[in-house]
């Protein structure tokens, strides 16, 4: 008797001998028909064969979609690694001018304006969506149902590749800019290009891909996976949830692992040598938080007002003659660099690390000059990030407060880290992201509560001065559909 519990329609084993030979026979017939009569003739052979093959492909498609997303995440990490190496080489190239002695230093007064104009000209002519830091473009593209033209204008693989070269060119010019903020646009541009390879049933939309790419860029740039995830949650996903969050997090981690495989599992600024945290740091820490909040709010306000423009002579000059204005900004930045022996050029990694190690020998006005150089560099309009320069300014604030209060270099190290978190939180409007990034960058787990309190207080103080910077900059971006297309490269 047949077993009543048995399946009435048992499925044959997929790779059993007779079934496999039958499949091979059918496949040979299909190939022979395709060779003789083309695709239509092959399609008429064994309709059940094609239906079954389609079911098998659709069943395996989710895994293919996941593999595509992870492959593009690895590509994002690889591009960020290349971006890092190129930007470091550019900063080193500019530093060689100071190695030439007196003549090299004076040459920067010509080199910086000329290269600044070249970078701005290229960006305005071919990729206007790459101007600025790039984070506002991503924020704008993440709005609900943005038009495809708007997304392609500011977030695409083409824009990402141009961004890498243009930011590196700005660092070669000696401008006070960083690469970490632009990696948000670079990562989002790489990941969103995966959309064309995904099936409609994947459920992964452009929003999720851009969030994953932007966060992966931050994670790989700073070697801070947790900071990348929190950046995505705090800055980029306020309007909706993240679908397929596990896949997004896996993409972020994979991009970070690519960077770790190249640079090693080391923190960005080494390990923080923190003394015992006691109540003696309460008053200095409070002063650092207040100063960093006010200075960060002022800096964010200056950036927004500079982009929006005012009815004054400089804003009119910037609107009517952007290249001449950029040359003037480059000249001022070069003069500031001369006054600080090149300490204000680039992202400020070396001075910041020296401050954290208690070995810095910087001019007394370094913090103010770095502040001005970063603002003027951004005002010029070139593709530029302010993440890393903000960390350098915040470190300078903590160092200056410690000197003002008569503290030793060793005692000043916690205040320097708190200044970094406070100024970054005040500038970007993301206190959670700021303190986690700083904590991961300096391996400062012993200061978690102090960094968190400083970031939250500084961010609250900055809100009294300005609104969130990236949201305001995103609202001022032009509508891509109303812009003329970028001019193609001229033929020689």
User: Can you list the domains of the chain with their CATH numbers?
Assistant: 61-263 (1.10.3080.10), 279-475 (1.10.3080.10)
Is residue 146 classed exposed, middle or buried when 0-12, 13-18 and 19+ CB atoms within 10 A define those classes? middle
| pLDDT over threshold 70, residue 490 | no
Apex CA 109: angle with CA 106 and CA 112, to 5°?
A: 125
Please give the residue that has the higher pLDDT: either 194 or 248: 194
pLDDT of residue 292: 96
**pTM confidence score:** 0.83
| pLDDT, position 239 | 46
pLDDT 10s digits, 216-228:
888 888 877 778 8
Would you state the pLDDT for residue 286?
A: 95
Distance, in Å, from the CA atom of 338 to the CA atom of 326, rounded to the nearest integer, reads: 18
Q: Mention every residue, 6+ apart, whose C-beta is less than 8 A from residue 50.
A: 43
- On the question of pLDDT at 124 being above 90, the answer is yes
pLDDT higher than 70, residue 413 = yes
The answer to whether residue 52 scores a pLDDT higher than 60 is no
Three-state secondary-structure class, residue 130: helix
In whole angstroms, give the CA distance from residue 367 to residue 344.
9
Higher-confidence residue of 347 and 22: namely 347
Report which of residues 376 and 240 the model is more confident about.
Answer: 376
Asked whether the predicted pLDDT for residue 446 surpasses 90, the reply is: no
User: What's the pLDDT at 487?
Assistant: 47
Q: Which of 178, 194, 167, 165 is nearest to 255 (CA)?
A: 194
Q: Which residue has the higher pLDDT, 148 or 348?
A: 348
The answer on pLDDT for 492 being more than 80 is no
Average pLDDT over residues 104-133: 94
């Amino acid at each position: 008797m047949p077993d009543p519990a048995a399946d009435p329609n048992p499925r044959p084993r997929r790779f059993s001998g007779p079934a496999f030979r039958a499949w091979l026979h059918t496949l040979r017939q299909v190939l022979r028909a395709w060779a003789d009569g083309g695709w239509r003739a092959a399609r008429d052979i064994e309709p059940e064969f094609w239906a079954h093959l389609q079911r098998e492909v659709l069943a395996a498609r989710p895994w293919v979609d996941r593999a595509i997303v992870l492959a593009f995440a690895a590509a994002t990490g690889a591009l960020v690694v290349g971006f890092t190496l190129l930007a470091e080489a550019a900063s080193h190239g500019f530093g060689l001018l100071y190695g030439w002695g007196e003549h090299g230093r004076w040459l920067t007064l010509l080199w910086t304006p000329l290269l600044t104009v070249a970078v701005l000209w290229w960006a305005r002519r071919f990729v206007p969506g790459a101007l600025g830091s790039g984070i506002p473009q991503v924020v704008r593209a993440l709005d609900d149902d943005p038009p495809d033209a708007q997304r392609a204008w500011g977030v695409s693989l083409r824009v990402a590749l141009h961004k890498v070269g243009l930011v590196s060119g700005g660092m070669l010019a000696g401008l006070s800019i960083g690469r970490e903020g632009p990696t948000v646009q670079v990562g989002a541009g790489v990941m969103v290009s995966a959309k064309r390879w995904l099936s409609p049933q994947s459920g992964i939309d452009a929003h999720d891909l851009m969030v994953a790419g932007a966060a992966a860029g931050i994670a790989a740039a700073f070697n801070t996976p947790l900071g990348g995830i929190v950046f995505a949650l705090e800055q980029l996903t306020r309007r909706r949830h993240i679908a397929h969050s596990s896949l997004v997090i896996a993409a972020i981690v994979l991009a970070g692992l690519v960077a770790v495989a190249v640079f090693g599992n080391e923190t960005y600024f080494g390990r923080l040598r923190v003394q015992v945290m006691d109540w003696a740091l309460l008053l200095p820490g409070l002063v650092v938080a207040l100063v960093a909040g006010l200075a960060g709010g002022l800096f964010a306000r200056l950036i927004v007002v500079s982009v929006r423009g005012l009815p004054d002579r400089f804003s009119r000059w910037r609107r009517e003659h952007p290249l001449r204005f950029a040359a003037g900004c480059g000249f001022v930045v070069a003069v500031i660099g001369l006054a600080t022996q090149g300490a204000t050029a680039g992202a400020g990694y070396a001075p910041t690390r020296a401050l954290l190690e208690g070995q810095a020998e910087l001019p007394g006005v370094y913090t103010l000059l770095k502040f001005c150089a970063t603002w003027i560099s951004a005002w010029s309009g070139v593709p530029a990030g302010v993440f890393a320069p903000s960390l350098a300014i915040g470190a300078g604030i903590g160092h200056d407060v410690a000197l003002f209060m008569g503290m030793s270099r060793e005692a000043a190290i916690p205040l320097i880290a708190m200044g970094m978190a406070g100024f970054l939180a005040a500038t970007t409007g993301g206190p959670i992201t700021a303190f986690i990034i700083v904590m991961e960058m300096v391996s400062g787990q012993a200061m978690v509560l102090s960094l968190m309190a400083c970031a939250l207080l500084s961010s609250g103080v900055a809100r009294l001065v300005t609104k969130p910077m990236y949201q305001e900059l995103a609202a001022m971006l032009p509508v891509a559909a109303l812009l003329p297309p970028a001019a193609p490269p001229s033929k020689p």
